[in-house]
Chain A
Amino acid sequence: MAIRERLSGNEAVAYAIKQINPDVMPAFPITPSTEIPQYVATYIANGEIDTEFIHVESEHSAMSATIGASAAGARALTATSSCGMALMWEELYVAASDRLPIVLALVNRALTGPININADHSDSMGARDTGWIQIYAESNQEVYDNFLQAFPIAEHKDVKLPVMICQDGFITSHGVENILLVEDELAKEFVGEYEPEHYLLNPRETMAVGPYAVSNYYMETKRAQREAMINAKKVILEMAEKFEKMTGRKYGFFEEYRMEDAEYAIVIIGSAAGTCKAAIEKIRQETGKKVGLIKIRVFRPFPEEELAEALSKVKAVAIMDRSEMFSATSGPLGAEVRAALFQAKSQAEVVNYFYGLGGRDITVDDFEEIYNNLEEMAQTHVVKDMYKYIGLRER
């Protein structure tokens, strides 16, 4: 029987870590992810897990030590947010190109300028090209479930890539919700023992990690990473299926909510999907308008064809970005979903919204306004502004 609990998102991740009992966790404090290493340190202090904690002096060193531990043959992870991830930047690329199955618990927070500690996806969206698998969550339940699936995906022989498990700062990380936890033994069995194939501390062979590779070799390493990312699509779905068998909770690349007959769709990532679902129920009940939602769970690898297929019958789409990329056009999700729709020769009208930057609330009313705009776009075939803001103060 699953265990009923009430946990915050950070507690849920820490609990998953406790069940996994990983080997090494280097971590550095930062709001709002810092509770995760605090909980782990407490488990260690009470002898509940065998994990070794490394009290590194920065996030750059956190990822560097995680890389060292993982290359050495240990199951290794860390946690961070925002500027902490920005300081790891260089190391994110090293982890991915060294093909190390590291897991990073990322609690999404806005990047500095001005300093802000609230939810926003600018940290992980900026890292979208680093070669990491990225899996996002709407709720505490989802971040817990995603975390249990992270190591089996990362360590799969056809993948061997680092995985970032993302959740929205404060909204889920600190919000306490009802949650169903997997029993310890089942969780352990699901995640399994880590048996690396090649590693530094293998007494039967030596190994060298992190070469200098000139132009004769560099390009093939990038092609190999791409292959692993392609393979990850298959493995992510396999693990989701296995997880569903264990828990009954179904996961895929994205969740389709009321999409079966939807004419107007929103594409979103993270906790705001919950508010959007409430808006959908209200609109359908009050007006009968066919509104739906696609909530992206897996952003890397990007499920391009599957998304285009899921949106193939809608008249208008709003793509919601919780981060800027200052192209003066789209946000990161907007650009990629638009490209997917273009490739699939979609006739849908498309608008890209920026919302919730630096933790700004998005409300049911906001979503109603967006769906109204979609309806108007579909009727007039005029998209007034391809890139809009919702919730921005006018003056």
Chain B
Amino acid sequence: METTYNFKEVMNKPDRLAPGHRMCAGCGGTIAVRTVLRALHEGDKAVIGNATGCLEVSSFMYPYTAYEDSYIHNAFENAGATLSGVETAYNVLKKKGKIKENYKFITFGGDGGTYDIGFQSLSGAMERGHDMVYVCYDNGAYMNTGTQRSSATPHFADTTTTPAGKVSNGKVQVRKDLAAIIAEHHVPYVGQTTYIGNFKDIYTKAEKAIYTPGSAFLNVMSPCPRGWGYDPSELMTICKLAVETCYWPMFEVIDGKWVLSYAPKNKLPIEEFLRPQRRFKHLFKKGNEELLVAFQAEIDKRWEELCNRCE
């Protein structure tokens, strides 16, 4: 399904997330929604699902919805199961001749609703193979409730439930690798991406995810200016540094085959990604050098594992 990517053409497609929602300036989550929905082909209808989170409370505040398509929010932990029900209803109604139109099913959840509380529901939906895409907009903490730690929060991050303090260096554990876990469900498509350059990577992955029959999972790093502590104008720089340091590798798993989407020519030291963010400020205090070494070692280990998988 290799399609040529024309930035101007793609950006001129009608937005399926209307302006006027209440998400923050510099929020990565909204960009995930707009970009993924742009990958829907014109004429195809969609039902959009959503786990409870920033996105839901800011984009469907009664009586206003920002979605041009039909949309369902149910609760925090069940976006996978809810869309399973919608997709199954579609199959029956289509079989019975009650619907003729083509519908696609895409659901969005933050990392809290996806890695943690919604993990079981997501795993069930992926295992059953519903023809749907689950998009995680991963901002690495429970941002809607005020930056509490999730299993997607990076090592040492200063969050409101893992605050850096006199005897604490922030989050004790390393991140859960959810994209790999979902790939182990043997679904036909898994993609990990973020916002790079002209958005070709996320757009083409979204299109593949939507138009590959069966369950697909997209993990999109979606920076949060409030939780991470960066200037909203720096969003694209933060994303670029995440990729160039190999903190956030971009890859696909297509029918079990791992494909690296991008390998930096010169892998930057992890400090480049960590330094601009308030949540890692304590790592740069004198005496904490070994924390940076530990962080770098984990990045190197995971990058090597990924490269081995992609061979």
Interface 1/0s, chain B 28-67, versus A by CB < 8 A? 0000000000000000010101000000110011110101
Tell which of B90-98, B259-267, B284-292 binds the partner.
B90-98
| C-alpha spacing A57/B99, complex, angstroms | 28
Q: Which residue of B lies closest to A205 (CB)?
A: B70
Q: Which residue of A lies closest to B56 (CB)?
A: A212
| B-side contacts of A210, CB under 8 Å | 56, 60, 72-74
**Residue from the list B65, B75, B85, B100 in contact with A69, Cβ < 8 A:** B85
| C-alpha spacing A214/B81, complex, angstroms | 26
| A-side contacts of B83, CB under 8 Å | 68
| C-alpha spacing A26/B92, complex, angstroms | 13
Given contacts A91-B78, A212-B62, contact A68 B86 (CB under 8 A): yes
Tell which of B5-13, B119-127, B166-174, B189-197 binds the partner.
B119-127
User: Are A23 and B71 touching (Cβ within 8 A)?
Assistant: no
User: Are A68 and B123 touching (Cβ within 8 A)?
Assistant: no
| C-alpha spacing A74/B94, complex, angstroms | 11
User: Are A57 and B120 touching (Cβ within 8 A)?
Assistant: yes
| B-side contacts of A104, CB under 8 Å | none
User: Are B60 and A212 touching (Cβ within 8 A)?
Assistant: yes
User: Are A57 and B124 touching (Cβ within 8 A)?
Assistant: yes
| C-alpha spacing A210/B47, complex, angstroms | 13
Q: Is B158 an interface residue (CB 8 A)?
A: no
Given contacts A201-B99, A206-B67, contact A91 B75 (CB under 8 A): yes
| C-alpha spacing A73/B88, complex, angstroms | 11
Q: Is A94 an interface residue (CB 8 A)?
A: yes
Q: Which residue of A lies closest to B78 (CB)?
A: A64
User: Are B71 and A24 touching (Cβ within 8 A)?
Assistant: no
Q: How far is the CB of B71 from chain A (nearest CB, A)?
A: 4
**Residue from the list A61, A67, A69, A90 in contact with B88, Cβ < 8 A:** A69
| C-alpha spacing A90/B65, complex, angstroms | 23
Q: Which residue of A lies closest to B98 (CB)?
A: A73
User: Are A50 and B75 touching (Cβ within 8 A)?
Assistant: no
**Residue from the list A24, A66, A71, A203 in contact with B92, Cβ < 8 A:** A24
User: Are B95 and A50 touching (Cβ within 8 A)?
Assistant: yes
Q: Is A45 an interface residue (CB 8 A)?
A: no
Given contacts A64-B85, A72-B85, A210-B73, contact A58 B124 (CB under 8 A): yes
Q: How far is the CB of A189 from chain B (nearest CB, A)?
A: 18
Q: Is A76 an interface residue (CB 8 A)?
A: yes
Q: Which residue of A lies closest to B73 (CB)?
A: A210
Q: Is A383 an interface residue (CB 8 A)?
A: no
| B-side contacts of A52, CB under 8 Å | 88, 91-92
Q: Is B153 an interface residue (CB 8 A)?
A: no
| A-side contacts of B80, CB under 8 Å | 61
User: Are A54 and B85 touching (Cβ within 8 A)?
Assistant: yes
User: Are A201 and B57 touching (Cβ within 8 A)?
Assistant: no
**Residue from the list A51, A58, A94, A200 in contact with B86, Cβ < 8 A:** A200
Given contacts A61-B121, A74-B93, A210-B72, contact A201 B47 (CB under 8 A): yes
| B-side contacts of A203, CB under 8 Å | 45, 99-101
Q: Is A326 an interface residue (CB 8 A)?
A: no
Q: Is B245 an interface residue (CB 8 A)?
A: no
Please provide the chain B residues from 145 to 187 with a CB less than 8 Å away from any CB of chain A in the complex: none
Please provide the chain A residues from 72 to 92 with a CB less than 8 Å away from any CB of chain B in the complex: 72-74, 76, 90-91
**Residue from the list A57, A74, A91, A201 in contact with B74, Cβ < 8 A:** A91
| A-side contacts of B120, CB under 8 Å | 57-58, 61
Q: How far is the CB of B173 from chain A (nearest CB, A)?
A: 25
User: Are A57 and B121 touching (Cβ within 8 A)?
Assistant: yes
User: Are B99 and A26 touching (Cβ within 8 A)?
Assistant: no
| B-side contacts of A71, CB under 8 Å | 72, 85-86
Q: Is A344 an interface residue (CB 8 A)?
A: no
Interface 1/0s, chain A 193-220, versus B by CB < 8 A? 0000000111100111111111001000
| C-alpha spacing A202/B124, complex, angstroms | 27
User: Are A55 and B128 touching (Cβ within 8 A)?
Assistant: yes
User: Are A217 and B63 touching (Cβ within 8 A)?
Assistant: yes
| B-side contacts of A91, CB under 8 Å | 74-75, 78
Q: Is A235 an interface residue (CB 8 A)?
A: no
Interface 1/0s, chain B 89-117, versus A by CB < 8 A? 11111011011110100000000000000
Q: Is A18 an interface residue (CB 8 A)?
A: no
Please provide the chain A residues from 266 to 307 with a CB less than 8 Å away from any CB of chain B in the complex: none
Q: Is A56 an interface residue (CB 8 A)?
A: yes
User: Are B89 and A213 touching (Cβ within 8 A)?
Assistant: no
User: Are A213 and B85 touching (Cβ within 8 A)?
Assistant: no
Q: How far is the CB of A12 from chain B (nearest CB, A)?
A: 24
Please provide the chain A residues from 172 to 210 with a CB less than 8 Å away from any CB of chain B in the complex: 200-203, 206-210
Q: How far is the CB of A322 from chain B (nearest CB, A)?
A: 30
| C-alpha spacing A72/B121, complex, angstroms | 19
User: Are B93 and A212 touching (Cβ within 8 A)?
Assistant: no
| A-side contacts of B127, CB under 8 Å | 57
Q: Is B69 an interface residue (CB 8 A)?
A: yes
| C-alpha spacing A362/B243, complex, angstroms | 69
Q: Which 4 A-B pairs have the closest CB atoms?
A: A68-B85, A57-B124, A65-B85, A61-B81
Binding site for A on B (CB under 8 A): 45, 47, 49, 56-57, 60-63, 65, 67-75, 77-78, 80-93, 95-96, 98-101, 103, 120-121, 123-124, 127-128
Q: Can you report 7 residue pairs joining A to B where beta carbons are below 8 Å apart?
A: A24-B92, A56-B84, A61-B124, A76-B85, A201-B70, A206-B67, A213-B61
- Known: A50-B95, A64-B78, A203-B101; 17 extra A-B contacts, CB below 8 A, are A24-B89, A24-B92, A51-B92, A56-B124, A57-B124, A62-B81, A67-B74, A70-B85, A74-B89, A76-B89, A91-B74, A94-B75, A201-B89, A201-B90, A208-B70, A208-B72, A217-B62
